[in-house]
Amino acid sequence: MGMAFSRVGFVSTRFAGTDGVTFEAGKWARLLGERGAECFWFAGQLETPAERSHLAEEAFFLHPEVLAVQAGLFGVAARSAETEARAEALTERLAGELRAFVAGFALDGLVVQNALAIPMNVPLGRAIARVIRETGLPTIAHHHDFFWERDRFAENACGDWLEEAFPPRLPGMAHVVINSLQRAALAERCGLDAAVVPNVLDFDRVAPELDAYARTFRGEIGLEPGDLLVLQPTRIIPRKGIAHSVELVRRLGDRRAVLVLTHPAGDEGPECLRDLEARIAAAGIRAVFLAGRVGQRRGVDAAGRRVYTLEDVFPQADLVTYPSSWEGFGNALIEAVYFRRPLVVNRYPVYVSDIAARGLRAVEMDGAVTDAVEAQVRALLDDPAERARRAEENVAVGRRWFSFAEARRTLDGVLAKLL
């Protein structure tokens, strides 16, 4: 077997839906599976095989008991005795669930996905750290977002707990981050060494051709044959910068241009969606909200309408917009490259340091859609040969830097050191 886990438990707050952590966990399970590992799943929301899963509902960050504890920890200056007691009780319950998971599946290693980085569920993080400390199980902590990267965690009454578990400093534990800026921050803040594994895709697999089902997509969402599909493949939350996409489509001034938004509003309140709808109305552009109609697999929604996968949708985009102000990496950006789509990207920090620096080419904006950005987009849309040339160059960059092969290499090194 050599240097690898044989029975590994993946742990997070949820493994369900179309969020980046769930996607990356699935890719890692595949990579470890290739090395002979059997993978098992622990979370508060699961879409994983039941016979390999342990559901602990209080691990989910939107569980009422978790929300009650979190409300007593963030946006407040002091921690009450009641919050302390509730948090400790919940931590111990979750630790009990984790012990049962480890024993029940006879695990010899853990992969913790983001639950020791972003404190969406503080008791879960503390419970994971507690069980690692007790068992000494070799653990890879895969960090996607840290609490210091999010303003909403700045005011808190749990600094000691963040210190203890986000992330913990324990022997027999390896840390993996998704970009080089995080690696530097982790070394500086916590004195921890981390490997970098970016969001990856299987660039060795040829993107599938559109089949009859996928070809129904444009018509189903109300597009006419000549329409220009401008794809915004992200959740609707403030840092995704979707107002820029609205402004770009407005500037194109083409009635055939339609802004298509794939994901629902995120976990940061409905105001963002209302604000966006108002902007779209003011700009007088066409937009389609697809929340609930793009999923991990094909099917039908509650209203009986077809549900499509990202593989059905991406190849049909005439342009992909990615105007985020901040991203941990940029899953959707790498997907756009894989599907050979032209891209408009805001120069967010990790794009500059870890993606553009590798040679990827996109129409770039610096926090605003300018005349120059508009002109570049128009030129690209009018020039199929240049679009094709750029797409091939970008795929070559993706294959070199953001492929499964690259992740395999780094992960093998992490496992060799850990075990």
**Rounded mean pLDDT of 95-113?**
98
| pLDDT, averaged across the chain | 94
Cβ neighbours of residue 272 closer than 8 Å, sequence gap 6 or more: 236, 237, 238, 265, 266
Give one DSSP letter per residue of 213-224, joined into a string. Answer: TGGGHHHHTT--
Q: Does 268 score more than 80 pLDDT?
A: no
DSSP 8-state symbol, 415: H
Q: Within 10 A of 74 (CB to CB), how many other CB atoms are there?
A: 17
Interval 158-186 mean pLDDT: 96
* Residue whose token pair is 């534990």: 173
Res. 1: pLDDT tops 50: no
Q: How far is CA 418 from CA 26, 171, 244, 267, in A?
A: 21, 10, 44, 35
Q: Residue 14 corresponds to which tokens in the numbers above?
A: 């949820």
- What is the DSSP code (8-state) at residue 133? H
C-alpha 266 chain-centroid distance:
12
| Cis-peptide, bond into residue 167, ω within 30° of zero | yes
pLDDT digits (tens, 9 = 90+) for 275-309: 999 999 999 999 999 988 998 889 999 899 999 99
Q: For residue 137, what are the contacts with CB-CB under 8 A and spacing of at least 6?
A: 102, 107, 108, 109, 110, 131, 172
Amino acid (one-letter) located at 57: E
**CB neighbourhood size of 404 (10 A):** 19
352 Cβ neighbours under 8 A, 6+ residues apart: none
Is the Cβ–Cβ distance between 143 and 168 less than 8 Å?
Answer: no
Buried b (16+ CB within 10 A) or exposed e, 261-298: bbbbbbeeeeebbeebeebbeebebbbebbeebbeeee
Fill in the amino acid letter for 259. L
pLDDT tens, 328-386?
Answer: 899 899 999 999 999 999 999 999 999 999 999 999 999 999 999 999 999 999 999 99
Task: Work out whether the CA dihedral 221, 222, 225, 231 comes out positive or negative.
Answer: negative
DSSP string, 18-34: T-HHHHHHHHHHHHHHH
Helix axes 371-381, 384-401, angle to 10 degrees: 100
What whole-number distance in Å separates Cα of residue 372 and Cα of residue 363?
10
- pLDDT value of position 207: 87
CA distance 51 to 54: 8
At 270 the pLDDT is 79
Q: The dihedral of CA 302, 318, 240, 204: what is its sign?
A: positive
Structure confidence at residue 2 (pLDDT): 45
Please list, in sequence order, all residues whose beta carbon lies within 8 angstroms of the beta carbon of residue 244, skipping any fewer than 6 positions away. Answer: 321, 323, 346, 365, 368, 369
| pLDDT(46) > 60 | yes
Mean pLDDT of 161-181: 96
Residue type (1 letter), 96 = G
Task: Say which CATH superfamily domain 7-200+404-418 falls into.
Answer: Glycogen Phosphorylase B; (3.40.50.2000)
Instruction: Return the CATH superfamily for domain 214-401.
Output: Glycogen Phosphorylase B; (3.40.50.2000)
pLDDT at 269: 61
- Tell me if 7-200+404-418 shares its fold with 214-401: yes
Predicted confidence at residue 255, as pLDDT, reads: 87
- List, edge to edge, every strand of the sheet that includes 319-322: 286-289, 257-261, 228-232, 319-322, 343-346, 363-365
Residue 219: its pLDDT value, please? 96
Residue type, 370: T
Q: For the residues 133-159, what does the mean pLDDT come to?
A: 95
* Predicted pLDDT at 3: 60
Residues 6 or more apart in contact with residue 367 via CB below 8 angstroms: 325, 346, 347
pLDDT at 17 (0 to 100): 80
Phi, psi of 170 (to 5 degrees): -130, 145
Q: Phi and psi dihedrals of 142, rounded to 5? A: -100, 110
The ranges assigned to domains in the chain are 7-200+404-418, 214-401
Note the pLDDT tens digit of each residue in 212-259: 999 999 999 999 999 999 999 998 989 899 999 999 999 999 889 999
